[in-house]
Structure 1
């Protein structure tokens, strides 16, 4: 506010005694003092209120005014209650130093003036912050005039000298990956995410201060506009329903600074930035709607026992959406995840859906949204991901394929044992003592006929993971060994998927080359692995038999000298 505005408010009881030409000065604060030297408490721009108790004689006015002028105060207001009038020596000293001087009527309390100035100055600051936030909002707007979260973080760095990162709940860098510093390392980001989730679960009010090594960070929650921020505090907050519904999906803003001594206006600005980033989060969630719908439609067809041709048609629609530019239909893999909370009062499906979409993004990937290649549906209790796996022939190492896609580009696809490595620490912190995440991964399937078996296989693998200790567990199709398939509770679809995965490569090869690998395998097992007896039975030379067995091992990745692999083939042939 301007000094001139003080004279326009009759309730303040101010009368100008000198400095009329300086009334356009800006007032940034107010201070009341009767110290002879208040300079240590002044930062510039204040309206100083004094009752003149510091003045013992006329010679005291000059040094007092000189100190105020040196500190850069905006003006001095002297009360009339102590001396009845403002002494001339003070008026003259202020005139010499061009310091505006007001007298304060004895009927007006200094508290009244202080309250008025603080209210006006706060309003002006709010307007300045609103202008800054509005500029940031325009930068966040998608399109030619917008730059997304990275543009906002660039402004924080250039305007406030703050390095900051937008992180997912697992510590993946969503924005700010080029900011350098310790937080650019994946292990540091995972630690920050873990500390953030642990703080949220305890109900502490943000920002949360964390020290990693020698660097202090302040963590600000970024909550989607569809999520209600929890107001729970204390030990009971960790189990509050609102927290558990959102803790594993909300982003965070990590700032390389200690916000413990920040002024309110800077904290307000950072909270405004988190609201802008939340808009970007909502936009990305909305962009996932089509992919989620595709996954839901495929899931409903598979569970309803629809004809393979109908499922295949739906998959052909999904393929170009998830893998733009792909000329042939990909292979598919199914991943099932479940989040379970003690008490069962929180539906696990939606939480698991958001979490699985995050887990399936390679934490080391960069560039455009790699999650665009993942479609995740959910039921009431679990999330189901349909992950496309392009064949090796369709991949190109021209820089256009992301790290995440290359990692799943061969027939092996996603591996359960490595899927959760990078996210186990932060997610365990978010699940705390009352939650569990279990994940099951199927083998890759090459057609719509195998999708139902892959779904049941992934679900059964998740049950295997659920039997293990720990807050975050995963199991893959490789762990559904032959002895497990003998158990009575294993679904028939899982047995069929196991058989098809092991024998279909041999059947396809026989169909194309008439190589008789299946009959050769059956005879080899019937002869207990004896080369001579099997060659005699098949009327083959032993070298020819060795060639066929070598081809079987090459196509299936198995070793027929191992008892376990012989048992798997034996059971697969009996169940086929």
Structure 2
């Protein structure tokens, strides 16, 4: 794939052929007739024997040959220099220095395929300059008028129901090529026409490169790995240096100035569509933060009523609480990491049709997502992928117990931040050994995971297993004394201890198990 300058433009439609066809000028073709389709960028008049230093290429050069003389080799070198400079054509005014164009000039022009025009004496050079200037101005006016009309069309499309998709479709039709919109993760979300989706997918490496640069930024390319020779422009979309999406367009030729104007208009409209206002985002964050506080406080019935009206509902079934925090200080870069993590999670939940509750709380990001769902997986993947973010994940639970799960996520996050790990699952912490964990937060995380099966049992069934275990351990396994403390029969206590072993998957005959359980119970009572 060849990178091209982003400001390359397609040639003007003002050609040598169109000038020859203007009867008022009376131009005659003396050589290079097969190249009359060359566009004319400007008209330049010079009597220098070497005007090349003053040329840019694409000009129609006019001269009377005043200083060229009649030497055949000198005339030949003159033509070759002009051809090498890339002029569109050479016009010779006759009647002053020459009555007719020297044969040496005609031969050299034919040799190089350079159009050679004879300008009759009645035609002043200024008339040719005016004709080209007027044609270029008319062309530019038409391009600007067309661009304005297209901008109005794109604006109407952006205001419709499927604004972004409509803008992409109109843009592709206007450019006579294809267009594709990518989300912030670099996945193609809209492509027009439909066949362009595969071609747009091959540009993922270029999109990923732009993701690493502040928005807005762009790249222009010629061809791709699939064999296409399209001229492609890829543009990031974003107003606050963070890309919220990307736009790619492909055309057969390089863009004209008018087409670049249309592309810039589409970029602006798509940016406005994707970039919600800061006030709106803050309002949404406050609303979701309020819902989170309701859920974490156990007011799930009220939260469901509010969420049904505002967000479409809360996650149902087994959920996890996920807590993300920057691993560095609270600066702009760390905030950007959490923003990108949140955007990836929201997009994953939207694609999967999952309920999700997510909101920033202070310098952290709190999520309640379906256990093992798309949002849960996307959050863990993003934390592993992004530099500067750590994630603590609670054990699976029901929405009504989200407050307890938040504490678990807090403990897991503390372990992640202290150990330098990207992701720590509370189940993983609770399943390990207590002794290697240093610090109060790690001990509390271990205790939460270890005792969770007992607490879930006690919330839904009779038995008071946690209290029974505490009494039995405090009496060093003496059945009668512990049963008396609890006010139950010793056979009842024996049955409860068997249920404890079944739920924990551990034997109370193991002294290490009894020690860990006692420390876990004590850490909970002391916290």
Q: Which residue of 1 aligns with 2:82?
A: none
| Cα distance change, pair 364–113 in 1 and its aligned pair in 2 (3 A) | farther
Q: Which is worse superposed, 501-510 or 261-270?
A: 261-270
Matching of residue 252 in structure 1 with residue 246 in structure 2: yes
- The 5-angstrom pairing of residues 383-422 of structure 1 reads 383-387=364-368, 389=370, 408=373, 414=376, 419-421=379-381
Conservation of the 8 A alpha-carbon contact between 2:171 and 2:266: no
User: CA separation in 2, counterparts of 1:509 and 1:17?
Assistant: 94
Matching of residue 269 in structure 1 with residue 262 in structure 2: yes
1:365 is displaced (CA, Å) by 5.5
User: CA separation in 1, counterparts of 2:41 and 2:506?
Assistant: 87
Q: SS of the residue aligned with 2:506?
A: coil
User: CA separation in 1, counterparts of 2:203 and 2:29?
Assistant: 51
- The 5-angstrom pairing of residues 163-178 of structure 1 reads 163-176=178-191
User: CA separation in 2, counterparts of 1:338 and 1:210?
Assistant: 42
User: CA separation in 1, counterparts of 2:24 and 2:127?
Assistant: 23
Structure 1 unaligned residues grouped into runs of 5+: 4-13, 21-31, 55-76, 89-100, 228-245, 390-405, 429-435
Conservation of the 8 A alpha-carbon contact between 1:335 and 1:440: yes
1:487 is displaced (CA, Å) by 3.3
1:206 is displaced (CA, Å) by 1.5
User: CA separation in 2, counterparts of 1:476 and 1:103?
Assistant: 90
Choose the corresponding residue for 2:140, options 122, 126, 137: 122
Q: SS of the residue aligned with 1:207?
A: strand
| Cα distance change, pair 547–255 in 1 and its aligned pair in 2 (3 A) | farther
Q: Which residue of 2 aligns with 1:348?
A: 334
Conservation of the 8 A alpha-carbon contact between 1:166 and 1:175: yes
1:318 is displaced (CA, Å) by 4.5
Conservation of the 8 A alpha-carbon contact between 1:164 and 1:253: yes
| Cα distance change, pair 540–441 in 1 and its aligned pair in 2 (3 A) | closer
1:116 is displaced (CA, Å) by 5.4
1:281 is displaced (CA, Å) by 0.7
| Cα distance change, pair 384–120 in 1 and its aligned pair in 2 (3 A) | same
User: CA separation in 1, counterparts of 2:252 and 2:90?
Assistant: 39
1:36 is displaced (CA, Å) by 1.9
Conservation of the 8 A alpha-carbon contact between 1:337 and 1:438: yes
Q: Which residue of 2 aligns with 1:560?
A: 506
Q: Which residue of 2 aligns with 1:148?
A: 163
1:277 is displaced (CA, Å) by 1.0
| Cα distance change, pair 493–364 in 1 and its aligned pair in 2 (3 A) | closer
User: CA separation in 1, counterparts of 2:222 and 2:474?
Assistant: 65
User: CA separation in 2, counterparts of 1:36 and 1:421?
Assistant: 67
Q: SS of the residue aligned with 1:421?
A: helix
Q: Which residue of 2 aligns with 1:475?
A: 424
1:463 is displaced (CA, Å) by 4.2
User: CA separation in 1, counterparts of 2:246 and 2:463?
Assistant: 58
| Cα distance change, pair 566–266 in 1 and its aligned pair in 2 (3 A) | farther
1:373 is displaced (CA, Å) by 3.8
Q: SS of the residue aligned with 1:560?
A: coil
Q: Which residue of 1 aligns with 2:106?
A: none
1:218 is displaced (CA, Å) by 4.0
Conservation of the 8 A alpha-carbon contact between 2:369 and 2:376: no
Q: SS of the residue aligned with 1:142?
A: coil
Task: Please report the TM-score for the alignment, with normalisation by the length of structure 1.
Answer: 0.56
1:140 is displaced (CA, Å) by 1.4
Q: Which residue of 1 aligns with 2:409?
A: 458
1:112 is displaced (CA, Å) by 6.5
1:138 is displaced (CA, Å) by 1.0
1:150-186 Cα offsets, whole Å, 9 max, x none, are 223333444545443322232244433965644676x
Structure of higher CA gyration radius:
2
Q: SS of the residue aligned with 2:391?
A: strand
- Number of residue pairs matched by the alignment: 436
User: CA separation in 1, counterparts of 2:260 and 2:338?
Assistant: 32
| Cα distance change, pair 500–469 in 1 and its aligned pair in 2 (3 A) | closer
Q: Which residue of 2 aligns with 1:206?
A: 218
Task: Please report the TM-score for the alignment, with normalisation by the length of structure 2.
Answer: 0.61
Choose the corresponding residue for 1:508, options 439, 448, 459: 459
| Cα distance change, pair 339–296 in 1 and its aligned pair in 2 (3 A) | same
1:125 is displaced (CA, Å) by 0.7
Q: Which residue of 2 aligns with 1:396?
A: none
User: CA separation in 2, counterparts of 1:283 and 1:508?
Assistant: 43
Matching of residue 315 in structure 1 with residue 303 in structure 2: yes
User: CA separation in 2, counterparts of 1:111 and 1:424?
Assistant: 64
Matching of residue 376 in structure 1 with residue 370 in structure 2: no
| Cα distance change, pair 504–541 in 1 and its aligned pair in 2 (3 A) | closer
Structure 2 unaligned residues grouped into runs of 5+: 1-11, 44-59, 66-88, 101-119, 483-488
1:417-472 Cα offsets, whole Å, 9 max, x none, are x63437866x56xxxxxxx2333333456467753x544543443444345668xx
| Cα distance change, pair 133–566 in 1 and its aligned pair in 2 (3 A) | farther
| Cα distance change, pair 322–212 in 1 and its aligned pair in 2 (3 A) | farther
